[in-house]
């Protein structure tokens, strides 16, 4: 396995594995398609994984690895995996109860000036899945198929018509941050699914990396209940390079 196909491990502690997911890679996929799960299994369990696959075993090949949450294929950043059933149950329960705090950074495009401010903005919307399509839409709050979506955020920096946002989703709806930004006229950079791409282009572009990164995640340790924070640096790619310094300085100052 080449270094290009390795997943960065942030840390491993008390049955929890924090990793830095690359953009463009699915969290899970059918056998034969590379994903975070399959690559971590190869890295973590080595020959046990290969032996299990060769013998036809597909249930926890190599050892237990729980996936209590996911990141969109187009999104990079920190995510949590469970190495024990106990850790998997504890993390799943925390996600269900909204006890896990996630922080994202996003680069958006906007023709309207967005002031850099210490004051947060709040996005409240009703979101529903678009039937037969791989996307969601914002609808009226009284729609029976819609679910509430709440996000808090800040404008951290700006450069011409692009803005760096810090986003805290309070709910975990499908494509929540992507549709909430887009419906306000500030689509995430390179997000063709919620940008200007035609429906004919979407199937070819919807998995391409976008400028949305899960920067940190906080959870209660399954063993000692202490609060733990895992962080993942933004990718070293052109879409992020001009923002790396401001992200690093702002995030580090807030964690002190």
User: Which of 166-170, 188-192, 251-255 ranks highest by mean pLDDT?
Assistant: 166-170
Per-residue pLDDT, 1: 44
The parent domain of residue 120 ranges over: 3-255
Choose among 158, 151, 145, 215: nearest CA to 182. 151
- DSSP code per residue over 83-106: SSHHHHHHHHHHHHTT--EEEEEE
pLDDT for 191-211, tens place per residue?
Answer: 999 985 444 555 566 678 999
Which residue is catalytic, options 3, 72, 201, 221?
72
Q: Is 3 an active-site residue? A: no
Which tokens is 173 given? 């709806």
73: phi then psi, degrees, rounded to nearest 5: -55, -35
Per-residue pLDDT, 198: 45
Mean pLDDT, residues 108-122: 88
153: region left, alpha or beta (phi > 0 left; psi from -120 to 50 alpha): beta
The whole-chain average pLDDT of the chain stands at 88
In angstroms, how far is CA 225 from the centroid of its own chain?
Answer: 24
Burial class (CB in 10 A: 0-12, 13-18, 19+), 208: middle
- How do 101-109 and 162-169 pair as beta strands? antiparallel
Provide the number of structural domains found in the chain.
Answer: 1
Rounded to whole angstroms, the Cα distance separating 9 from 6 reads 9
Per-residue pLDDT, 199: 47
Which tokens is 8 given? 């960065």
CATH code, domain carrying 21: 3.30.2350.10
The model carries a pTM of 0.89
């Amino acid at each position: 396995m080449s270094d290009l196909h390795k997943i960065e491990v942030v840390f491993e502690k008390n049955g929890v594995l924090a990793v830095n997911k690359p953009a463009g890679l699915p969290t899970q996929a059918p056998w034969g398609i590379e994903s975070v799960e399959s690559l971590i299994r190869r890295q973590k369990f080595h020959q046990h994984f290969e032996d299990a696959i060769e013998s036809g075993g597909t249930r926890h090949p190599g050892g237990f690895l729980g996936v209590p949450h996911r990141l969109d294929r187009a999104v990079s950043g920190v995510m949590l995996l469970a190495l024990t059933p106990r850790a998997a149950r504890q993390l799943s329960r925390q996600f269900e109860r909204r006890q896990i705090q996630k922080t994202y950074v996003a680069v958006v495009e906007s023709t309207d000036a967005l002031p850099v401010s210490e004051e947060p903005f709040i996005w409240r919307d009703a979101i529903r899945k678009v039937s037969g399509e791989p996307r969601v839409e914002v609808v009226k709050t009284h729609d029976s198929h819609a679910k509430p979506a709440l996000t808090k955020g800040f404008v951290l920096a700006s450069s011409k018509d692009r803005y760096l946002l810090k986003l805290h989703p309070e709910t975990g709806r499908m494509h929540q941050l992507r549709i909430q930004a887009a419906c306000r006229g500030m689509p995430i950079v390179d997000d063709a699914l919620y940008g200007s791409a035609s429906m004919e282009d979407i199937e070819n572009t919807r998995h391409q990396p976008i400028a949305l990164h899960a920067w940190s995640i906080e959870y209660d340790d399954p063993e000692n209940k202490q609060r733990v924070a895992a962080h993942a640096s933004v990718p070293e790619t052109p879409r992020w390079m001009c923002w790396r310094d401001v992200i690093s300085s702002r995030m580090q100052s807030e964690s002190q």
